[in-house]
Each structure stands twice: as structure tokens, then as C-alpha cells.
Amino acid sequence: MRIDILTLFPAMFEGPLSESIIKRAQNAGTVEIHTHDIRAFSTDKHHRVDDYQFGGGAGMVMAIQPIADAIEHLKAQRHYDHIIYVTPDGQTLNQQMANSLSLSGNIIILCGHYKGIDQRIRDHYITDEISIGDYVLTGGELAACVIVDAVVRLIPGAISDEESALTDTFQDGLLAAPIYTRPAEYNGWAVPDILLSGHEANIEKWREEQAIERTRTLRPDLYAKLFPSKDKQEK
Ligand code: 6GU
């Protein structure tokens, strides 16, 4: 998989994408991540990338030329399965979307700033618009980091069996069961007996019950999606 990120602030990606699993995935050749400075594509003599809104209104808009040229430059070199614009008015990212994006070949992620980008970019180039939640960030860079992290760790080979993505919270629509490690007692706080019993089937059953109960109490919205009939009976 190859991810090309178009941004006005390439340095914002240096830390988040050069640690832990994402770093290892790049070193192993599982994913290539390239950042590109949109400003470098500006044909304006002062390298301007923003302009006033037609029709008036507060806030600058990212102009069409530098972004269009950056996207054309990339598209001339390879095919892209997704050209994503990260924006608070996009579809909210969830595990299903991350799973689906992790099956891509090449993707472009475009980060916006100021008031946003010229609508014609969205109309003519963008295939997916993604938000990471209902709040406003300064720009799309942090959101793009979140998307890249959620997607890259799902690419086959990015994480080991021990780190298994299959038992993640949300992977089956449920929150994960509580987890413990040694010591079995700390400060008088004991690990549930069942986990020390060595009885695999009972442990599996306990984990499933815990996952369901945690989801019911902590995320009733998810629970209602999984068990719509039970939800009705309780009301
Ligand atoms: Cl993708 N961008 C910005 N600027 N703010 C956000 C967001 C994206 N997702 C949630 N808030």
C-alpha cells in the first residue's frame, strides 16, 4: 500500500508516523507513506495557496491550482483507489471504514486548512470525505494521522498475532473484555479467578459476557445496533 499525503504542514506528520507499529510497517515495506507540501505546487510568484471567497465572507479558502496540480502530479504516476479529503463535514471514521481502506492499493489524503478548499476540488477529484468526529481541529493533519494509524495497523503483516487486530474493541462491534497481567494480586486488588483457572472454554465464555455487558453499560448506542430486539424489551 502507498499513501500520499498532501498538506501545507508536512512536518506535522514526522512524529506520529515514525514511531511504533507505523514505523515498523514502513520499514518492513508493508506501506509507503509520502508527504507532499502543497505550497511547492503553487505557480504564484509568492507561493500563495489561499485566496478570498467569491461572494464575500470571513476566512480564506485553499485555492484550486496548487491542489489540482499536486493531485494531477501524483495521478500521472500511478492509479489511486481513493482520493480522500479530511474535513469535519465528511463521514465520521469508524472501524468498518478503516477495515475497508486497509484493502486499498494506493490512496491520497488531502488535508485542508483555513475555511476549507475550493468546492471544485471536492467535486472533480475527491472520492471520499472523512471526519474523525464532531469537533473542529485547526487543520486536517491530525485527522489524517488518525486515519493513517487506524488503517495501516490493519494491513496484513503490519502487526503480529500477539498484537492481533481481530480482538480489538469494535472489530466485532463490541467493546473488548477487561484484561490483566501479573501480579495476580496487587495492593489487595485481585485478578478475576476465572482468568487463573486455565479453563479455556470458561474463560472465552466469560470474556464474551464481559464484552457484551461492558458494551451495554458503556456504549448503549452500539449495544442497540447489535441487539435491537433486546433493546426494545428493556424500554
Ligand atoms: Cl478531518 N478536519 C478538521 N479540520 N477538523 C476535524 C476533522 C477534520 N475531523 C474532526 N474535526
61 plus 134 within the same structural domain: yes
Distance 135 CA to ligand 1 centre (A): 7
What value, to the nearest 5°, has the Cα angle with vertex 89 and ends 87 and 95? 75
DSSP state of 173: S
Total structural domains within the chain: 2
Residue pointed to by grid coordinates 474463560? 203
12 plus 125 within the same structural domain: yes
Could you state, in chain order, the average pLDDT of each consecutive group of 10 residues for the chain (235 residues)? 98 95 94 98 98 96 98 98 97 96 97 94 98 97 98 88 73 92 98 98 98 97 91 52
Distance CA 213, CA 222 (A): 12
135 in a structural domain: yes
pLDDT value of residue 226: 94
CATH number for position 77: 3.40.1280.10
The length of the chain, given as a count of residues: 235
Q: Are 216 and 175 in contact (CB under 8 A)?
A: no
Distance 91 CA to ligand 1 centre (A): 11
121 plus 48 within the same structural domain: yes
Mutate to test the pocket of ligand 1, among 131, 138, 142, 145 (most ligand atoms within 8 A of CB): 131
pLDDT value of residue 135: 96
| pTM of the predicted protein model | 0.92
Sign of CA dihedral 128, 109, 32, 98: negative
User: Could you count the other beta carbons within 10 Å of the beta carbon of residue 121?
Assistant: 20
Which amino acid belongs to residue 143?
A
Q: Which of 152, 180, 213 is the last residue of a domain?
A: 152
Which amino acid belongs to residue 102?
S
52 plus 112 within the same structural domain: yes
pLDDT value of residue 160: 76
pLDDT value of residue 165: 76
Q: Which of 123, 152, 181 is the last residue of a domain?
A: 152
pLDDT value of residue 167: 73
157 in a structural domain: no
Is the CB of residue 87 below 6 angstroms from any atom belonging to ligand 1?
yes
Q: What is the CA radius of gyration of the chain?
A: 22
pLDDT value of residue 158: 86
Residue-range definition of the domain harbouring residue 191: 169-234
Distance 147 CA to ligand 1 centre (A): 11
Q: Which of 152, 184, 205 is the last residue of a domain?
A: 152
